[in-house]
Structure 1
């Protein structure tokens, strides 16, 4: 029985000495390893700062290779940022103005046009005419008259224009209307008064 106890003590002693031996060897190796290597991945702040400085130097060298001796100080960069912001602002203003122009020109407004004493309203193709007051007669072209959309008829030369009917000038060949005394029209599109 005493022998068993002695064997156990010897075994425990051997295990303890072996474990201590391996621990001391590991500590010794860790102390000898340079920070940042595969054996010692933990690094110090000074090591990280040293590497950052090396990377900055490398980047500066590459910039010098690409741009030569261009002075890229912070004043120039701030000026470029300011100019970029001003250009973006101007671009937005131009886009807003363009969209407003598109809205205003996409659908031309109806204009009130008054004609007196034998005046003529000569219209371009696509112009819309509505007689609101007075009396007027049609001026037709060689290929036909005015298209009365409301009445679904073609108004021929010297025919009376019906009031409040939508008329469309189909061609740009001198078609329009004329009045002997006085008339008021609503007109959308290009025209000239003669």
Structure 2
């Protein structure tokens, strides 16, 4: 009788383990998941790009810069070069980083530009430090290339801008 009880207990335990295992596998459909369905989601690069563009409020195409008139309103980083006698005027919210050359702040009023790297306000006529992130809170402010021989100012720009000739 003792031998029969051991066999029945073993049979019941094995049967229970098999039934629990089968119900877990069939309940979650792990064996039958198709790529892209809710059990095995598939995300493509184009889908991620589209979602990011929606978060940024655009359609993902960007506007780019127009080399003919020297302006842009895109949110991507642009490399812009200005020469002595030119100024780079920012739209509100635009960010600049001077990568090479010497420039100074231009502003149509007494207020200035935020130097986010140092946490300071740069006002009209002040030199712009290289490799500092500048943020322009309002339209009509920017940088002017200094009048030194062979000075070209290379700037990375994110946001809207316009290249103009300095008005004397």
Question: 1:184 aligns to what SS in structure 2?
Answer: strand
Select 2:59's aligned residue among 102, 108, 113: 102
1:116 aligns with 2:83: yes
Gaps of 5+ in 1: 1-95
Structure number with larger C-alpha Rg: 1
The residue that corresponds to 2:143 in the other structure is 177
The residue that corresponds to 2:102 in the other structure is 135
Gaps of 5+ in 2: 1-46, 63-73
Tell me which of the two structures has the higher relative contact order, counting C-alpha pairs closer than 8 angstroms and 6 or more residues apart. 2
How far apart are the structure 1 equivalents of 2:128 and 2:155?
11
Deviation at 1:120, TM superposition (A): 0.3
The residue that corresponds to 2:160 in the other structure is 190
Q: Deviations over 1:44-85 (max 9, x none)?
A: xxxxxxxxxxxxxxxxxxxxxxxxxxxxxxxxxxxxxxxxxx
Higher helix share: 1
- Deviant stretches of 4+, over 4 Å: none
Higher strand share: 2
How far apart are the structure 1 equivalents of 2:132 and 2:157?
12
Normalising by the residue count of structure 2, what TM-score does the alignment of the two structures yield? 0.52
Normalising by the residue count of structure 1, what TM-score does the alignment of the two structures yield? 0.46
Aligned residues: 97
